[in-house]
Amino acid sequence: MLADVLREAEMRWPGNLYNRVDARSGEIECAPEAVSEICGWLFSEREYIFACLIAEERSPDWELRYVWYGAGDDGVIHVVARQPVAEQTFASLIGRVHAVDWSEREAEDLFGLVFQGHPRLGDFVLHDDRWNREVTPMRKQVDANAPLVRLLPEREWRPLLVLNAPGGFAMPIGPVYSGVTESALFLLETQGEDVIRCVPRLFYKYRALEKLAEGRTAAYALLLAERCNGTSAFAHSLAFCQAAEKIGGVNVPSRARALRILLAELERFRHHTAAIREICESTGLAVGASEAAILEEELLRLSCQYTGHRYLFGLNTIGGLTRDFEIGPCLQTLEMAQSILRRLERLEQRLRRTNTFVDRIEEVGSVSPQDAREFGLVGPIARASGVARDLRKMQPYSGYENFSFNVPQEQAGDGYARLRVLFAEARQAVGLIEQAVSALPLGPIRAETAHLAPGAALGWVEAPRGAAFHWLRLADDLTVERYHLATPSFLNWNGFHLATENFSFQDFPIILATFGLSMAENDR
Amino acid sequence: MILSGALLILFFALCFTGIALAVVLPQRHGSFALAVVASLAAAAITGLGGIVLLSGNSFQCPLWTIPELGTLSLSIDRLSALFLVSAGAVFLAASVFSNAYMQRYVGHYSLRSFSILYYALLLSVTLVLITGDVLAFLIAWEAMAILSYLLVNYEHEREKNIYAGWLMLALSEMGTMAAAFSLLLLANHAHSMSFAGFRGAFHDFGPGMRWAIFLLSFFGFGVKAGLVPFSVWLPRAHPAATANISAVLSGVILNLGLYGIVRVNLDFLPISLPGPGLVVLIVGSVSALIGILYATVENDLKTMLAHSSIENMGLITAALGAGFVFAVDGHTVIASIAFVAALYQMTNHSLYKSLLFLGAGTVDMRAGQRNMDKLGGLMKFMPWTALFLLVGALAISALPPFNGFVSEWLILQSLLRSVELNSIAIGTVFAFCAAALALTAGLVITCFTKAFSMIFLGLPRSPQVEEASEATPSMTVPMGVLAVLCLVLGVAPTWVIPVLDGALAPYAVSGATQALVPPFLNPATPGLPPDFVHDFHDLGAQIGAGIVPASGLVVLHRGGARNPVVFAMSTAYMLVVLVLLLAIVFAVVRFWLARGRTAVRRPLWAGGIQQLRPEMTYTATGYSSPVSVIFNAILHPGAAPETREVIYEHFRTEIRRGDREESHILDRLIFTPLAQGAMAIGNLCAKMHNGKLNTYVTYVLIVLLAVLLIR
Amino acid sequence: MSRWVLSGLKTGIKTTHYPAQQEIHAGVSPGLPVTGSAEGRTAEICPTAALTSSEGRIEVNYRRCIHCFRCVRSAESAPLDWQQGYEWAARAADRPALETGAFGRSLNVLVVDAGDCGACLSEIAQLTNPYYNIHRLGFFITPTPRNADVLLVVGPATDQMRAALKKAYDAMPEPRRVVAAGVCALSGGIFGPSLVSGAGAADVVPVDVEVPGCPPPPLAILHGLLVAVERKPSAFLSSPSAPANPVEAAP
């Protein structure tokens, strides 16, 4: 219970502000020194899950907001600390909560904050071989449109390698590699045959999306939210809209809420089909990959035929949807989705019976439940490692609480478990589409009035790859003051190296495919 | 005869002059004097050997008679002349190389003592090859063994070197004892200390005596030749030795072991049983395979070359073994082909291995590093050394048109002729050995592509490498000369084979020239169908026949009437065709395809990474790790000790892996159990000494009783 | 294994006949706005300033249109003509023409992701699926620039990908073409130019063919490749003279 947690926290650390914002969310305002202890307690004793770290430069103060969530009544807790802008040093949480690792590194790179005690700061979002360490693009005084002063890096970049062995070396893969792939650099540390460790170097595609949103209208920022990742555009636009709707107190009509679920699940279905195709491709199973690709293309055409866009762009708007769907197209969509699902299930049967395929993904890239929890993994990857985290269940939105579905879960944590989760979720998604279509309420698809107000709110969705959080703060003139996205790829890339310890080199594409993460979603 | 004698006297005079100069001259001029005088001396023995080898006149010279022991004498026949020539060539190159190379030791170690030991080694090696009686031979042999120990141990301040020296000395002394014992047995039976008296004196030996002599001498000389299982000293001695001594060790000293084996089993007591021949063949094949396996996974350049020497010695020994078996079986021509192949391989090995060791020394000196994991990219800084080492690597990898190809090809071909043998069992052994040698030949290529590419290609993996610069001409020129010799011996086998065959002429196994380089230009040549002769004539197989009698450019093995040609091969043509093809390709590209276009050099593509760093490039360990995985059962690398440093529970800061505890298969299977057994017996003996008087009294009583009982 | 052969055969042929015939299946393309009356606030509604009004008509700049649909779905805009189709690719005027047959019969394409959102890449990945199967046309995706003929760039060319993009182009042999696909690669889209990214691929490499769309559907990218090797005529990047070959609207 949220109330109990807040009360207990107040008893332990008196003198801080404990606000209960609404039934499902609370805020703890405390001194920067106390953050670490409170968060550590939330994480290890109350089993809250780390969502995101939001750093804001709100003159004259820094505002650091660690967001935590639990299931149901536990709600969402923001732990907020403030200190003057001139004071850039905060204590790192890294000793107590490992999941904050990358969030702190990101804030360090973008704002120039220093997290004392964090062992790996620098060369994260902003690459050291590109920019001087003084560059801090997210600071308010930096102009979003003027190119950053390209200060030359003061020293040569050397990769941070941990392998110290005779004849050890790091085989670089990327940033441009192997066909149609997103850009990232992987350094495979090896002595020759087996790869001992692999750490990705991301953010080659850093587009400063959060910075671009600042000073623009919420409607414009919605375009950015949608395009943070094209393959899960609807989920992200939904999270953004929910944040904006919360700020404005907009009541989304029930028909729009149900249609949003329909579309979100359609997107999930298509995303998982694509992920299955990639896994088949990575093992060299050409026929399986082609069959999945056929289904993927049919889903893309289906989306385009009924919504106008193959990737569901331009559908969400603050307050509802931009267009309505007749019951006919809805039923046809359902019918098509069900027929595609049947073919996908046949593919699943064949894959399960193909030993050469199963042997290649079984016991490959394993992540233990313990690690999944410690590193704060989300989505199908966490669920394949026995950590059943799903925001649709834990903190329902858009009416998911009225739908009956369960969260598929596997214990093995290997590549095959992740594949099984993908299949199960694809099935689940079609089931949800069916429920949405069968009980589609009548009414408008857009709130009559969608006036926004100054303020801040957090919106979240369970995107196809996992939990996504969008933090939106509107200024008095209703322009965006701060926009922050915590994406599932960002949370999960942090744990990628867990699956890439001591594996053989030819398994690398398979591990990559079974993780199915997006660089665009991570880099933003 | 007179010229030979004069050269010999000149040689001795030069050696003693050298020693005198070393004593008199200040240290800083020492290396120059050493280079000049020692290379002149080496040239003298090369000339001496060359005269005897080409003229075919043996050199005999009784020195003085010692009562009771017989006459000390010098005797150079063509066989010893062959060894003398290759030794001289290696000494010549190593001596010139010493001029610049030994500078690095000035001030650290005494150059004076090095020079004296070096001359003494040169003397003793020459004496081993030219003595004509048991006593002088043994004295020279022992001197050679001790001197090579002292020279290997030159950098005596390093702990590891001392251990390597001890091991070398201990095994060498065991070998000397066995060899001496076998020679003395022979001398005893022949009632003569002179080698000349040995010939034909042992007709009445039974198989037991023959086996005993064979085993003793094979062990005794095999230790020096670095054959399995007594090769363990070699990989330890080489890294300890200086580069020039390494070249001499591999190019000369190992050959002396072979010399002993050949001398005893071909000349003194020709093998007349198939068993010893098979033993030689199997030991040789196993040596070759084990040698190359360890060479492939080794990352220290000199240790790698040492393992590769074991492999080459194995190849030569295997060919000798095959020759012995063929000879016993009555196939003297095939036997002679095998022996020619062995001697060819031996000569080649002397040349390219000393080239490689000199190159290794150059790399070590200029780049300050011998570990292939840390080298890389040296081609830019040391182009000539790279070129010569490339030739050496190609030659040792047995790729045409270099010399290694001819000899290794002849070895494999002669092993394949096992189909002529009558016994199926022996044929099977041959098949296995041929397979082992073929695998060896494949692994050699892996081993040396790794060596060359990891040293010279890619990016420098340590800071000293980037500061490396080309060596002085006195270091590169000897390597260049050796590289040219590798090419010459490779393209002119038809000139070399008659010479080698001539060295075998006195023994019952010659005739390879007739089989391999037949004078079939003459249509009257018996044994070949006329139309066949005609065809080959048109092909120009006899080009060059006018220059050296009986030699064309094609080696072809003549069989019987039904199967006139068993195989044919011409490295000279290969070279011509290769050059021609390259020229054609160049011309086509330059004048036709790229006509009117300019070549554009595009930058390196490394996945678009900002800057490719040396730590992102393949290392030697990485290159050879597939081999170490495949041959895990033999190599048996112990688990590397691994420590993982972690902070905050989850941040890996370091995964440290130590060197793998490599136990050599021979240590594992033979020496460690032996040592443990010896220790156990020692401990048992120690227990008997409990210091109590009554125990000792009991021992005395027991012995007394035993003596009484036996009586 | 026979199971896979059988199921593969059972699936039959799915491949489109494009470019021999037009593909008319519903959903292959989201279409593009063409023109319309400039009444109302149509031009102001466009968040990327792709629409301009000229002489009472709307003109569309396809380098900027990101398929947000606001112009057609907003209550404040006048109805706009929306045209299905996909032959959108246009050759840059200032680039030299190719010699005929410069690439022979096959074409190797290197795909460089210079900061796209993933949708463009996903559409490129669809090109090899059985529906489009560009291999039948002799087009192949290659992982290295060394044997690439065409550089297919997506994304606005973020600063951290500039070096890699430039290196990929520099490593390609002549003759070479650059196809920029997606609005981001043409003009920076909604991401550029900004503090950390350029205004499209042309900032870094010379672009020969531009394929508009957000994302351009697979057939549009295919059209771009065909334009690059001059197997198809070029389209125009602004309406109303824009898309050739209209396709029947979806049922």
Considering B516, B536, B565, which residue would you say is the last residue of a domain?
B516
**Which of C110, C167, C174 would best serve as a mutation to test chain B binding (most B beta carbons within 10 A)?**
C167
Residue B168 CA to residue A394 CA, distance in Å, equals 75
User: Going along B476-606, which residue ranges are E strands?
Assistant: 555-558, 565-569
ipTM value for the complex: 0.89
- Has residue A155 been placed in a domain? no
Q: Which residues of B touch C172 (CB under 8 A)?
A: 602
B615 and A119 within 8 Å at the Cβ level: the answer is no
pLDDT for residue C36 is more than 80: no
Q: Is residue B394 part of a domain?
A: yes
Q: Residue A153 pLDDT > 70, yes or no?
A: no
- Which position has the higher pLDDT, C54 or A482? A482
Check if the beta carbon of residue B596 is closer than 8 Å to that of residue C174: no
How do residues B380-423 score in pLDDT, each as one tens digit? 889 999 999 999 999 999 988 899 999 999 899 888 888 888 88
Residues A45 and A173 in one domain: no
> Is A291 in the same domain as A350?
yes
Is A126 contained in some domain?
A: no
Question: Which amino acid is residue C176, in one-letter code?
Answer: R
How far is it, in rounded angstroms, from Cα A475 to Cα A477? 5
Q: Mean pLDDT throughout B254-259?
A: 92
State the average pLDDT over residues A257-285.
Answer: 91
Mean pLDDT calculated for residue range B373-377: 87
Domain total of chain B: 4
Buried b (16+ CB within 10 A) or exposed e, B79-102: bbbbbbbbbbbbbbbbbbbbbbbb
Domain membership flag for residue C27: no
pLDDT tops 90 at residue B443: yes
Average pLDDT over residues B217-223: 92
| Model pLDDT, residue A166 | 83
The reported pLDDT for the residue numbered C248 is 43
Is residue A136 included in any domain, yes or no?
no
What total of structural domains would you count in chain A? 3
| Chain B nearest CA to C145, separation (Å) | 8
Residue C245 pLDDT > 60, yes or no? no
Question: Do A291 and A362 fall within a single domain?
Answer: yes
Residue B91 has pLDDT above 90, yes or no: yes
C215 prior amide bond cis, ω within 30? yes
Flag if C167 and B608 touch (Cβ within 8 Å): yes
Comparing C-alpha atoms, which of A470, A520, A1 is closest to residue A243?
A470
User: B349 pLDDT exceeds 80?
Assistant: yes
Q: Are C3 and A350 in contact (CB under 8 A)?
A: yes
Of B452, B486, B516, the last residue of a domain is B516
A231-248 average pLDDT score? 90
pLDDT for A399-430, tens place per residue?
888 888 888 888 888 889 999 999 999 999 99
Structural domain includes residue A297: yes
Could you report the per-residue pLDDT of B544-593, keeping only the tens digit for each? 666 655 566 777 777 766 667 777 788 888 888 899 999 999 999 888 88
Chain A touched by C125 (CB under 8 Å): yes
Residues A183 and A324 in one domain: no
Is residue A399 included in any domain, yes or no? yes
Whether residue B473 is found in the same domain as residue B533: no
Residue C137's closest CA among C11, C16, C50, C46?
Answer: C16
Rounded-to-integer distance, Cα B404 and Cα B395, Å: 5
Q: Say whether C172 and B603 touch across the interface (CB within 8 A).
A: no
Residues A441 and A334 in one domain: yes
Residues 6+ apart with CB under 8 A from C93: none
What is the pLDDT at residue B586? 92
Residue B605 belongs to a domain: no
Instruction: Please give the structure tokens belonging to residue C160.
Output: 């951290």
- Residues C163, B602: C-beta atoms closer than 8 Å: no
Spatial separation of the C-alpha atoms in residues B612 and B636, rounded to whole Å: 34
Burial grade of A256 (CB within 10 A; 0-12, 13-18, 19 or more):
buried
- pLDDT of A495 reads 86
Residue B27, CA distances (Å) to B114, B115, B147, B272, B649 in order: 11, 10, 21, 55, 60
Note whether residue C41 is domain-resident.
no
Percentage of chain B lying above the pLDDT 90 cut: 33
Q: CA–CA separation, C209 vs C237, rounded Å?
A: 11
Range(s) of the domain holding residue B107: 1-203
Domain count of the fold of chain C: 1
The rounded distance, in Å, linking the Cα atoms of A265 and A253 is 19
| C-alpha C27, offset from chain centre | 16
CATH of the domain at C147: 3.40.50.12280
Range of the domain at C136: 90-228
Residues B510 and B527 in one domain: no
Q: Which of A157, A173, A197 sits opposite B610 (nearest CB)?
A: A157
Beta strands A76-84 and A25-30, pairing class = parallel
Comparing B293 with B646, the larger pLDDT belongs to B293
Does one domain contain both B469 and B555?
A: no
Confirm whether A334 is domain-assigned. Answer: yes
- For residue B34, being part of any structural domain is answered with yes
Instruction: Show which subunits contact A, needing at least 3 CB pairs below 8 angstroms.
Output: B, C
Structure tokens at C129: 């699926």
Residue of C14, C80, C117 to mutate, testing the A interface (most A Cβ within 10 Å of its Cβ): C117
* The pLDDT value given to residue C237: 76
Instruction: For residues B509 and B537, state if they share a domain.
Output: no
Inter-chain touch B605–C174, beta carbons under 8 Å: no
What is the span of the domain harbouring residue A189? 169-201
> Residue A83, Cα to own-chain centre: how many angstroms?
28
A65 and A111 within one domain: yes
Which positions ≥6 away from B111 have C-beta within 8 Å? B22, B27, B30, B31, B34, B102, B105
**Mean predicted lDDT score pLDDT of chain B:** 86
CATH number of the domain encompassing residue A97: 3.30.460.80
Same domain, B316 and B275: yes
Nearest CB neighbour to A193, from listed B606, B618, B629: B629
Residues B510 and B455 in one domain: yes
- Specify if C61 maps to a domain: no
> Per-residue pLDDT for B542 more than 70?
no
Query: Which of these, B167, B267, B175, lies nearest to B219 by C-alpha position?
Result: B175
Query: Cβ of C205 under 8 Å from any chain A Cβ?
Result: no
Cβ contact, residue pair C7, A354, below 8 Å:
no
Tokens of A250: 């907009």
Asked whether residue A318 falls in the same domain as residue A447, the answer is yes
pLDDT on residue B258: 92
CA A262 to chain centre: 20
User: Is C63 among the domain residues?
Assistant: no
pLDDT at A423: 92
Alpha helices in C74-200 (DSSP H): 119-126, 159-170, 183-187
Residue A154 lies in a domain: no
Among B617, B652, B654, beta carbon nearest to A169: B617
A208 in reach of chain C (CB within 8 A): yes
The chain-wide mean pLDDT, for chain A, equals: 87
Quick one: pLDDT at residue C46?
83
Q: Does residue A231 share a domain with residue A184?
A: no
Question: Which of C112, C145, C174 is opposite residue B605, by nearest beta carbon?
Answer: C145
Are residues B523 and B511 part of one domain? no
pLDDT tens per residue across span A72-95: 888 888 888 888 888 888 888 888
Average confidence score pLDDT of chain C: 82
| CB contact set of A470 (below 8 Å; sequence gap of 6+) | A225, A236, A239, A240, A242, A243, A458, A459, A460, A483, A484, A485, A486
Q: Which position has the higher pLDDT, B55 or B67?
A: B55
Residues A215 and A476 sit within 8 Å (Cβ to Cβ): no
In a domain, C239, yes or no: no
Domain match, B66 and B114 both: yes
CA closest to B656 among chain A residues: A164
Q: Give yes or no for a contact between B319 and B342, defined as CB atoms under 8 angstroms apart.
A: yes
**Average pLDDT estimate for C204-209:** 89
Report the amino acid identity of residue A458: L
Q: B655 and B585, same structural domain?
A: no
Q: Does the pLDDT value for residue C140 go beyond 70?
A: yes
Q: For residues C120-129, give the mean pLDDT.
A: 90
Q: What is the dihedral of CA A81, A83, A88, A94, to 10 degrees?
A: -20
Could you tell me if B491 and B344 lie in one domain? Answer: yes
What confidence score (pLDDT) does residue C243 get? 46
Please write the tens of the pLDDT for every residue from B654-699: 888 877 767 788 888 888 888 889 889 988 888 877 778 888 888 8
Q: Which two tokens stand for residue B461?
A: 């993996």
Q: Which residue has the higher pLDDT, B223 or C232?
A: B223
Q: Is residue B285 very low, low, confident or very high in pLDDT (cuts 50, 70, 90)?
A: very high
What is this structure's pTM? 0.86
In a domain, B622, yes or no: no
Question: Quick check: A49 and A31 in contact, CB under 8 A?
Answer: no
**Tens digits of residue pLDDT in B413-441:** 888 888 888 888 888 999 999 999 999 99
Contacts of B690 (CB under 8 A, 6+ apart): none
Looking only at Cα atoms, what is the longest distance across chain C?
A: 65
B50 belongs to a structural domain: yes
Phi, psi of B66 (to 5 degrees): -105, 125
pLDDT reading at B318 higher than 90: yes
The answer on B483 and B448 residing in a single domain is yes
Does one domain contain both A450 and A476?
yes
Subunits touching B (CB < 8 Å, at least 3 pairs)?
A, C
**pLDDT at residue B357 greater than cutoff 90:** yes
Q: Does position B523 have pLDDT exceeding 70, yes or no?
A: no
User: Would the pLDDT of B32 be above 60?
Assistant: yes
Are residue B532 and residue B496 in the same domain, yes or no? no
Q: A387 and A443 share a domain? A: yes
Instruction: Work out the average pLDDT over B450-454.
Output: 92
Average pLDDT over residues C202-228: 89
Domain boundary among B185, B203, B221: B203
Closest CA to A326 of A255, A229, A274: A255
Q: Which domain-ending residue is among A74, A99, A116?
A: A116
